[in-house]
């Protein structure tokens, strides 16, 4: 019985230590989330308007301007840019992103994958590690982007993707990331990065071509705008993922803290019952001994 009491006491101490860690991690994530949330909320309207403008320009050009980054061609080689976190302990966040990347490849590029013509670039360590475990070809050049999350660092990845697309190393580039809504909700998305998607007109929409006035020349302006807007789109996706990660970790640590509290309650009940049983046994032995002496 004393051994059993000691074991329960040790488990109580262990759970209490773990609970302190989960509480601390929740508080750290909550502090980081505020900053990350402000960054993506400020960035999103600007990035969405730029993307809308770029898609409209591509849709209205009708081949009158050479746009290499919008060129549609048969897909022989595909690139998937997977944005995950560097660390775990954030629930199913990274696992869901890896699952979506796998599903995107399976649904859209099964033949290319069978031939080994699908490459995954991981932004964040967990993405590269997860896809490697499933046997996909990965490039972890940009896995440390979150260590210094700046526009310049994210731009390196988008610039490399654009250069590879223009050279014909890849015929399509997909972006897989999580879109932040709030601390408890993230939407996992897979969307086309290259070639630049055109706006799909509604069934009842007018076929009138959008009329843009370009100053300076159309080709010069488009050549300058396209890379900058695409850099902004990837940066927005990374900011979304950063806020999503902190939200997911804060939620996961909050649940872990609650679970630890429930486990502590259960362990304390078990400890009190075991102690009460030990005391009862000792009292019984004392009374039995006293009765034997009197007898």
Q: pLDDT per residue over 108-155, tens digit each?
A: 999 999 999 999 999 999 999 999 999 999 998 999 999 999 999 999
- Let me know if 295 is exposed, middle or buried by CB neighbors in 10 A (0-12, 13-18, 19+): exposed
Confidence check: pLDDT of 276 > 90: no
User: Residue 54 contacts by C-beta under 8 Å, 6 or more apart in sequence?
Assistant: 196, 225, 226, 229, 230
**pLDDT, averaged across the chain:** 88
Q: Where are the domains of the chain?
A: 37-201+209-247
**What is the pLDDT, as a whole number, of residue 41?**
93
**What is the pLDDT, as a whole number, of residue 207?**
53
Token output for 109: 């590029």
Token output for 152: 């310049």
**What is the pLDDT, as a whole number, of residue 210?**
56
**What is the pLDDT, as a whole number, of residue 278?**
80
| Position with higher pLDDT, 282 vs 194 | 194
Looking at residues 241-265, what average pLDDT do you find?
95
Q: Give CA–CA dist 43/207, Å, rounded.
A: 32
Q: Would you list the DSSP string of 214-262?
A: -SS-HHHHHHHHHHHHHHHHHHHHHHHHHHHHHHHHHHHHHHHHHHHHH
Q: Give CA–CA dist 182/101, Å, rounded.
A: 22
Confidence check: pLDDT of 206 > 60: no
CA distance readout (Å), 48 to 42, 189, 244, 251 = 11, 15, 18, 28
Q: Give CA–CA dist 135/260, Å, rounded.
A: 36
Share of the chain above pLDDT 90, in %: 64
The CATH label, of 3.40.1380.10, 3.40.630.30, 3.40.50.10490, 3.40.50.2000, for the domain at 37-201+209-247 is 3.40.1380.10
**What is the pLDDT, as a whole number, of residue 62?**
59
Q: pLDDT band for 197, please (50, 70, 90 cuts).
A: confident
Q: Residue 185 pairs with which residues in a beta bridge?
A: 182
CA torsion 243-136-140-150 (nearest 10°) is -30
For 212, the 3-state DSSP assignment is coil
Looking at residues 29-38, what average pLDDT do you find?
94
pTM of this prediction? 0.85
Tell me the catalytic residues: 90
């Amino acid at each position: 019985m004393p051994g059993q009491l000691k074991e329960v006491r040790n488990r109580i101490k262990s759970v209490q230590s773990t609970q302190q860690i989960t509480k601390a991690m929740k508080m750290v994530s909550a502090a980081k989330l505020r900053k990350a949330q402000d960054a993506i909320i400020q960035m999103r309207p600007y990035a969405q308007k730029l993307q809308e403008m770029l898609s409209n320009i591509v849709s209205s050009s009708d081949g009158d301007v050479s746009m290499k980054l919008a060129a549609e061609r048969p897909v022989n080689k595909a690139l998937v840019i997977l944005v995950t976190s560097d660390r775990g302990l954030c629930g199913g966040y990274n696992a869901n992103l890896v699952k979506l990347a796998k599903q995107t490849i399976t649904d859209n590029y099964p033949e290319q994958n069978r031939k080994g013509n699908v490459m995954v670039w991981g932004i964040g360590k967990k993405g590269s590690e997860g896809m490697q475990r499933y046997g996909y070809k990965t490039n972890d050049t940009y896995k440390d982007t979150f260590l210094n999350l700046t526009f310049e660092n994210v731009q390196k990845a988008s610039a490399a993707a654009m250069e590879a697309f223009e050279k014909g190393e890849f015929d399509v580039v997909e972006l897989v990331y999580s879109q932040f809504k709030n601390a408890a909700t993230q939407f996992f998305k897979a969307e086309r990065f290259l070639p630049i998607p055109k706006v799909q007109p509604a069934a009842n929409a007018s076929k009138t071509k959008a009329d843009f006035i370009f100053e300076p020349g159309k080709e010069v302006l488009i050549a300058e705008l396209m890379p900058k807007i695409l850099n902004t789109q990837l940066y927005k996706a990374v900011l979304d993922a950063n806020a999503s990660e902190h939200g997911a970790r804060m939620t996961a640590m909050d649940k872990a803290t609650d679970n630890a509290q429930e486990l502590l309650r259960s362990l304390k009940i078990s400890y009190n019952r075991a102690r009460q049983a030990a005391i009862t046994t000792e009292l019984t032995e004392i009374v039995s001994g006293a009765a034997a002496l009197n007898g």
